[in-house]
Structure 1
Amino acid sequence: MEYGLYIHLPYCRSICPYCDFVKAPLHHAEPERLLSALRREWELARAADGEAWSRPRTVYVGGGTPTALEPPTLARFLTWIGEAWDLSRVREFTVEANPEGLDPQKLSILFEGGVDRLSLGIQSLEAPALRALGRIHTAESALHAVTLARRAGFRNLSVDLMYGVPGETRDGLRAGLQQLIALGIPHISAYPLQLEEGTPLHSKAARGALAVPGETEVIGRYEELLGILTGAGYHHYEVSNFALPRFRSRHNEGYWTRRPYLGMGPGAHSFDGRARWRNEESIPRYFERVESAELPREDRRELSGAEASEEAIFLGLRRSRGLRVSRHLAAFPAAEVAAWRLWAQEGDAVAASPPGRLRPTDQGLFLAQDLASELFARTDRREPQART
């Protein structure tokens, strides 16, 4: 089975106030216990699923901050991956990293351990925006991390940015993008700031202690970065992702095209082509369940044919390639497909071209979630929830 392997390492040196991922501060970390639990989870998964997950095509290690691990622990972790899975067919091996704590020793361990792609969580190159986001690195240390990664041998680098952030300026955003372009960063992911309920930043905004840019300003920032990046030769291939030729994220494309993936670690999600499930999100409970020889999986849900088709449409509208009508819409009545074609012809968010496809425009990509809602509302359908 062609699939992607995701492993979640939840520990961070500092907890960002906007983050709602499964995470824990490094001073509460139990790295050896985590590695032992991951080994045990893999044993339990093989006992349950056989060899279905033995040969991944992509590997992605996220968090948390995987590079927050101490060098010996990081090296043992990568060695275990190479021993536990057959990596002979892997086309991309990504590890997330933050600028702080990324040094030549860790970069050497990553490179020698088979990692060929780094995803750097820079978020901004403006000091006020970094402070608002609670980041502990500076613009200078972020750019230095890029230099160190290049020296270590990494050519496939991705940078995460956020826009619509308090303290951000138009000139600062432009200057930051130009710096990254000048450095030859081949992949840039850019996300609007989302105030997730339950996070400190959401609470701060709710009580009026944080001035958040309005929708018009956020759209303006999106249009700004879109113009700069596409003008520099980057392909806007997904809602939040821009890549130079041959540098698209293969692992994430697996999510968007509904290829199977196995998630390991607390809170990780999985999809085997028919059903979706997630792992226990509580880190202590994850440890307890695995150490009791229990697979930490829950909320398993088999998808019906209609749900799978709707999900394919929802995900397809996030990609610039869009949907192939004969493949993704064949399960729907002809009258519904005709209504969608007419909708595409009448608006400026979806294009019915080339023939046989429904493709979001740049405006449509920014409004992908709303676009799916409007499409399904045409026939009183409800768009499926994103689970990746």
Structure 2
Amino acid sequence: MARGVYIHIPFCHQICNYCDFNKVFFKNQPVDEYIEAVGKEIEMAVRKSPEQFQEIETVYLGGGTPTALSAKQITRLLHHINSILPTDQLIEFSSEANPDELTEDKLEALINGGVNRLSMGVQSFDQQLLKKLGRTHTNEHVYETIELAKKIGFDNMSIDLMYGLPGQTMEQWEDTLMKALELDLPHYSAYSLIVEPKTIFYIQYAKGKLSLPTEDSEADMYELLMKKMAEKQKEQYEISNFAMDGHISTHNKIYWDNDEYAGFGAGAHGYLRGIRYSNYAPIKKYIETIQNNEQPLLREHKVSFEEKCEEQMFLGLRKNEGVSFEQFEKKFGVSMKKLYGNTIEQLKIEDLLLEDEKGVKLSHKGRFVGNEVFQRFLLED
């Protein structure tokens, strides 16, 4: 049964140099037809398996950039969502946003349509770094948009930050953290840059034209991030996420809990009935498939027992609370120690993992090499 719903909006007015998500330039795209197709896909899914959507806790609009849509298009999209899904019971209804696109009429369309949380892609408060990233907003856009959103009625807001950027210095990162924390928002996310294939940065990197900080410098940036967030009482509840009490991202926690969620839209991914699936990514193909009353499934993968156990560890260890012995055994019918006892003991010896009576979690040292720790929980055939 789905705990959450993800809806992908693949349109952008500007393509960022680091982004590998399914996205296209907004201009000359069949945006209105896409919105109708998304509504129809949700309707088909609910009609086919209404029991899957009876207890959803969250809806998340991601992209691309949902706020690339006009206020009228946002209203139409939210009308479809609210008329088909039981959104009156939601804990959280989030939308990603760009600071320079959140006009007053768009903010009003979002809040009138039930959206109660904004996640804004700020990335940096250094204008030169923003230009390298391909971002178009300024610091003034951020300040003005946050004040306007508060005026409209949004009190649950988050901003994304990035470190390990091309040419980024520790001084630039510290300045960005200072400016971000001066906003005193209830939630912050901060991610190190990953140079993904099929991005502009990847092409530059392959040509030797992308100067990145060293691994040690990136580790120092992460250490500073944790220190500054703690000083401002923003509790780290996941490797890259920090929040005040009561403001953790409920939707993202669904992923880290390894629970099920539905994905709608071109290129969207979902996880239902033990099956991970993805939709067609090309927008024209997606729309045509929906118009033919067919589900736009590109591929499905039935997750094996071993994969479920591995994912529970990979995803759960991202959380500061770690993975519970009791919940693991309840979910899989086998104790974590029986499957992973030797691995856990070795990681404890290496000071990468901590254990108490409730479960296991990453140590402070382990947070810096999380991916290496996660790989140790792969089960042999």
TM interval, short-chain normalised: over 0.9
The reply on whether 1:357 has 2:356 as its aligned counterpart is no
Q: Could you tell me the percent identity over the aligned residues?
A: 34
> CA 1:342–1:301 in 2, change beyond 3 Å: closer, same or farther?
same
Matched with 1:58 is 58
Q: In the TM superposition, what are the counterparts of 1:64-79 in structure 2 within 5 Å?
A: 64-79=64-79
Choose 294-303 or 115-124, whichever is displaced more.
294-303
- After TM superposition, where is structure 1 displaced by more than 6 Å over at least 4 residues in a row? none
Separation in structure 2 between the aligned mates of residue 44 and residue 93 of structure 1, nearest angstrom: 21
Q: Which secondary structure state, in structure 1, belongs to the residue aligned with residue 191 of structure 2? A: strand
Q: Which secondary structure state, in structure 2, belongs to the residue aligned with residue 226 of structure 1? A: helix
Contact 2:2 2:52 in 1 (8 A): no
**1:248 Cα deviation from its structure 2 partner:** 0.3
Matched with 1:151 is 151
Q: Deviations over 1:24-62 (max 9, x none)?
A: 101132121011111221232134324422552111001
> CA 1:93–1:335 in 2, change beyond 3 Å: closer, same or farther?
closer
Separation in structure 2 between the aligned mates of residue 47 and residue 111 of structure 1, nearest angstrom: 27
AA at the equivalent of 1:120: M
Separation in structure 2 between the aligned mates of residue 307 and residue 248 of structure 1, nearest angstrom: 27
The reply on whether 1:319 has 2:314 as its aligned counterpart is no
**1:156 Cα deviation from its structure 2 partner:** 0.5
Q: Deviations over 1:261-305 (max 9, x none)?
A: 111101111112411111111212111211111101132122222
Matched with 2:374 is 372
Contact 1:269 1:277 in 2 (8 A): yes
AA at the equivalent of 2:58: T
Unaligned runs of 5+ in 1: 383-388
Matched with 2:128 is 128
Q: How large is the Cα RMSD of the aligned pairs?
A: 1.8
AA at the equivalent of 2:23: K
AA at the equivalent of 2:363: T
Choose 339-348 or 82-91, whichever is displaced more.
339-348
Matched with 2:341 is 338
Q: Which secondary structure state, in structure 2, belongs to the residue aligned with residue 266 of structure 1? A: coil
Separation in structure 1 between the aligned mates of residue 101 and residue 358 of structure 2, nearest angstrom: 49
AA at the equivalent of 1:139: N
> CA 1:71–1:21 in 2, change beyond 3 Å: closer, same or farther?
same
> CA 1:140–1:46 in 2, change beyond 3 Å: closer, same or farther?
same
Separation in structure 2 between the aligned mates of residue 34 and residue 313 of structure 1, nearest angstrom: 37
Q: Which secondary structure state, in structure 2, belongs to the residue aligned with residue 155 of structure 1? A: coil
Q: Deviations over 1:194-236 (max 9, x none)?
A: 1101111110111022211121111111111111012211111
Contact 2:39 2:81 in 1 (8 A): no
Separation in structure 2 between the aligned mates of residue 86 and residue 326 of structure 1, nearest angstrom: 31
AA at the equivalent of 1:311: E
Contact 1:259 1:273 in 2 (8 A): no
> CA 1:213–1:256 in 2, change beyond 3 Å: closer, same or farther?
same
Matched with 1:252 is 252
Q: Deviations over 1:302-350 (max 9, x none)?
A: 2222221121111111111111224426636856533133224312221
Contact 1:161 1:189 in 2 (8 A): yes
Contact 1:319 1:365 in 2 (8 A): no
Contact 1:94 1:118 in 2 (8 A): yes
Contact 1:205 1:212 in 2 (8 A): no
AA at the equivalent of 1:358: V
TM-score by length of 2: 0.94
Q: Which secondary structure state, in structure 2, belongs to the residue aligned with residue 99 of structure 1? A: coil
Separation in structure 2 between the aligned mates of residue 326 and residue 86 of structure 1, nearest angstrom: 31
Unaligned runs of 5+ in 2: none
**1:375 Cα deviation from its structure 2 partner:** 3.8
Contact 1:66 1:96 in 2 (8 A): yes
Separation in structure 1 between the aligned mates of residue 4 and residue 102 of structure 2, nearest angstrom: 25
AA at the equivalent of 2:71: P
Matched with 1:180 is 180
**1:69 Cα deviation from its structure 2 partner:** 0.7
Matched with 1:34 is 34
Contact 2:267 2:280 in 1 (8 A): yes
> CA 1:35–1:348 in 2, change beyond 3 Å: closer, same or farther?
same
Q: Deviations over 1:153-176 (max 9, x none)?
A: 111101011100124222222222
**1:99 Cα deviation from its structure 2 partner:** 0.9
Q: Which secondary structure state, in structure 2, belongs to the residue aligned with residue 27 of structure 1? A: coil
Q: In the TM superposition, what are the counterparts of 1:1-388 in structure 2 within 5 Å?
A: 1=1, 3-328=3-328, 331=334, 336-352=339-355, 354-376=356-378, 381=380
Separation in structure 2 between the aligned mates of residue 3 and residue 334 of structure 1, nearest angstrom: 28
